[in-house]
Amino acid sequence: MQIRILNSLDVLEYRDIRLDALKKHPESFGSSYEEEKDLSINDFKDKLSSPISFTFVAFTHQNKLIGIVTLQREHRIKLRHRANIVGMYVSPSSRKMGIGRKLIAACIEKATSLEEIEQVYLSVVTTNMTAKNLYLSFGFKIFSLEKRALKLNYTYIDEEHMVLFLK
């Protein structure tokens, strides 16, 4: 397996796995399949070419994209000491193989290498114990519970907000 930063040659595969994630686990993302399914490849390229965003991808030895996660730096002056981990997803057939751990480790390593970044934030659905335990194992701490953070059809979904202090 290979973990690396996404490049423009991967955008078609990235789009496919992103849409798969949104379709299979709508409760885990702020975006929806309906909002992203009609975006063009150029829209995805634009999202991925931001100088404050680093999308990490996991590929099998057969070059199949099986996991994604994005580290986003804050750009406002007073928030530049912060980064956010968003869009974490590993294909169901590739779970329980340590891929999520490697993707989060890549984000933390990148955040640590960025001079200004002192803390990393993420949000996790309260019922996703696998993801929550992964983040806790890296030292993330829960600092708040957001009741009804998301609304999917007629169901509210709570999220916990977590932080990892690097410095």
Mean pLDDT computed over 138-146: 98
* pLDDT of 61: 84
pLDDT, tens digit, 9 for 90 and up, residues 4-41: 998 888 899 999 999 999 999 999 999 999 999 999 98
Tokens for 85, please give them: 């981990």
Residue 58's domain spans which residues? 2-165
User: What beta strand segments (E) does 33-154 contain?
Assistant: 53-59, 65-73, 82-90, 119-125, 141-152
User: Residues with Cβ < 8 Å from 57, sequence gap 6 or more?
Assistant: 3, 4, 5, 6, 10, 14, 65, 67, 68
Q: Residue written as tokens 């519970």?
A: 145
Tokens for 108, please give them: 């933390």
- Kindly indicate the confidence band of residue 167, based on its pLDDT and cuts at 50, 70 and 90: confident
CATH number of the domain within which 79 lies: 3.40.630.30
pLDDT, tens digit, 9 for 90 and up, residues 69-101: 999 999 999 999 999 999 999 998 889 999 999
* pLDDT of 47: 77
Is 49 a residue whose pLDDT tops 80? no
Domain count, the chain: 1
